[in-house]
Structure 1
Amino acid sequence: MIRLDELVQKLGGELVGDGSVCVDRVATLDQAGKGDLSFLANPKYLSQVKSSGAAAVIVGKSARDALTDRPRIVADDPYLYFAHVARHFNPPASVLGGVHLLAAVSCSVPSSVAIDAGAVVEEGVVLGEGVHIGAGAYVGRGAHVGANTRIAPRATVYAGCVLGQDCIIHAGAVIGSDGFGFARQRDGAWVKIPQVGRVVIGNDVEIGANTTIDRGALDDTVIGNGVKIDNQIQIGHNVRIGDFTAIAGCVGIAGSTRIGARCMIGGQAGIIGHLTIADDVVISAGTLVTKSIRQPGVYTANLPVQGHADWVKNFAHLRHLDTLVDRIRALEQRLEEREQS
């Protein structure tokens, strides 16, 4: 439990109301109860604040005086403040150093590193202080894992790859598998091109479950500092992703694409290879990117959902667009000829 005035002293913000109220967890407005701290990030949910059972609420400056009987913390960004509070109540579990008897380890291990049962760590691996390698995970020969990085059970880090400090690699992620590189012979058979680059990951990067990041063909695949990658994402060989970019689930990024810093890429978006995406670009969910984006902004290339009958009718119209264009051009030409005569 923590008093509201103590929380504000620790995290900032403005306290309005009784600072002696204690909270011990965060919750949504509709689920909050006694001892819960909730937040209002969108003004359209103000009515839920009034009916919520939360002990206190985090609000923005515009909602400072919207409530009169409930303690609240006024913050510039209520959602960001909520994130800091949630981290305060839910710190990561402490790493208790030690190597399980059922782990297979062929490198030196600092005393602060924990390696769980069934994990395999090959020779030449360099482990920073406070690393945790989960059950059944694999770290290949010569890989480097930075301090306080956590590799979840069944995750795989191939040989030679580099993980920075304070990273989280979730279960089933594969770092450094071969990129999709083949040359075709005249008879149609494929010749595999050895993938000899690495995956180099910066600090404070999170990689979701079952995401795959291919090693470079010749140069490295590079993931910048602070990048957040969701579950089930495919990142091809030689891709470079700038600092603090966030990528939602099921995105596919083909090889040799360059993505700038602070970008946001929505779920199920697809980016074809050898493109350049500028800094501060937002790509909407489901968008297929087929050419480089040189300027910051929001980009969308998908259709909103509609009833099946409407979709069939509208698609039928799309099929006749070329004919309609030809007819319009013919009419314009006839009008132009009539005006000249």
Structure 2
Amino acid sequence: MGTTTYTLRELAEMVGGEVEGDETLVITGVASIQDAQPGQITFVGHPKYLRVLATAKASAVILDHTTAADRPAIRVPQPYRAFATLLTLFYPRPRPRPGSTPPVQVGERVHLGRDVTLFPFVTLSDDVSVGERVILYPGVFVGPGSSIGDDTVIHANVTIYDGVSIGRRVIIHAGAVLGSDGFGYVQDAHGRHQKIPQVGGVRVEDDVEIGANVCIDRATLGETVIRQGTKIDNLVHIAHNVEVGEDTLLLAQVGISGSCRLGKHVTLAGQVGMIDHIEIGDGATVIAQSGIARNVEPGAVMAGTVALPHRVWRRVQAATPRLPELLRTVAALEQRLAALEARVSQTSREANHG
């Protein structure tokens, strides 16, 4: 963090907020509610942290418009988002100097934009195009004919196969693999698995972030597509010919089988699995460890999975949608049974008295 300081009013203007209290208060940094020191600003994104705020040392706090403040504050609709903006302000990522640090291997007909940074052991194969201000960290391999857009950052030991297109302002974290062969085989008459050539490509659009050790397979034909603004957590696998819609979130260990289609603003929580050729509508959410075996409607929230013998599983799946109706039927039968028992009891008493 640098030595730059800001007044509370200046910070409020940067995040589109309103100041409550001393506008001239000087802020030297940002920190979590537990770690903040005098001179720093923190935030409260949930009421449960108000009791922690009461003993916090922070000089100021970012709050929504309804939470009571016990110190100078910046009021915004989304405190966490404003806090993230200030984190970027106070903790800017250092940008390495442009240039090439040997050893770097550069093939033929390679285009390098202005102010590119190439760290040691970067390999750029023939016909690669690298945009302006791109940073390639040590050990990055870029295969023949691939392209990288302006302002993209690719961290250490990322492998980009041939024919991969990466957009602008993309971040790819260490160990990711883009463009490996899709898992495509066909059995011959003897039950042996014959490989199907995977001759398509991968296209990653602008403003995508790809986590560490993510694997995105190339298409059999055509493209595997990750659309603009999507964020992918670590250890996610995306199979051949998948299309992931704009601004989608894929959390750790998600597995998406071939030819699936995800809409815009979809969220797949950790360890969600999808069988092939599934479509998920815009804005749908799938809860962690769920297994998706059928199409999902837009805006739906899905949860659950279980492993059973297939024949049993099919019967369970057929019965599950009828459970609410079955419960209503059972409740009605219980009422009828209770009424019948009451009449039988009454008849029995009358007979005994007769």
| TM-score using structure 1 length | 0.86
Quote the Cα distance in structure 1 between the aligned partners of 2:92 and 2:301: 34
Larger Rg: 2
2:133 to 112, 130, 151: 130
Farther off after superposition, 14-23 or 220-229: 14-23
1:29 corresponding residue in structure 2:
33
1:36-75 mapped onto 2 (5 Å cutoff): 36-63=40-67, 66-68=68-70, 70-75=71-76
1:103 corresponding residue in structure 2:
104
3-state SS in 2 of match to 1:61: coil
Quote the Cα distance in structure 2 between the aligned partners of 1:26 and 1:12: 17
Identical aligned residues as a percent: 36
Q: What one-letter code is carried by the residue in structure 2 that aligns with 1:26?
A: V
Q: Is the 8 A contact 1:164 1:201 kept in 2?
A: yes
Q: Is the 8 A contact 2:114 2:131 kept in 1?
A: no
Aligned length: 312
2:352 corresponding residue in structure 1:
none
Q: Does 1:267 align with 2:270?
A: yes
2:17 to 9, 13, 16: 13
1:276 corresponding residue in structure 2:
279
Deviation at 1:95, TM superposition (A): 4.3
Q: Is the 8 A contact 2:271 2:290 kept in 1?
A: yes
Deviation at 1:4, TM superposition (A): 1.1
Q: What one-letter code is carried by the residue in structure 1 that aligns with 2:85?
A: H
Farther off after superposition, 214-223 or 292-301: 292-301
Quote the Cα distance in structure 1 between the aligned partners of 2:179 and 2:167: 14
2:309 corresponding residue in structure 1:
none
Flag structure 2 segments of 5+ consecutive residues without an equivalent: 307-315, 321-325, 341-354
Q: Is the 8 A contact 1:50 1:67 kept in 2?
A: no
Structural RMSD (CA): 2.3
Quote the Cα distance in structure 2 between the aligned partners of 1:26 and 1:188: 62
Quote the Cα distance in structure 2 between the aligned partners of 1:273 and 1:141: 29
Quote the Cα distance in structure 2 between the aligned partners of 1:25 and 1:166: 27
| TM-score using structure 2 length | 0.83
Farther off after superposition, 206-215 or 287-296: 287-296
Moved over 3 A (4+): none
Deviations 1:276-295 (A, max 9, x none): 00000111111111111023
Quote the Cα distance in structure 2 between the aligned partners of 1:260 and 1:155: 27
Deviation at 1:80, TM superposition (A): 1.1
2:77 corresponding residue in structure 1:
76
Flag structure 1 segments of 5+ consecutive residues without an equivalent: 304-317
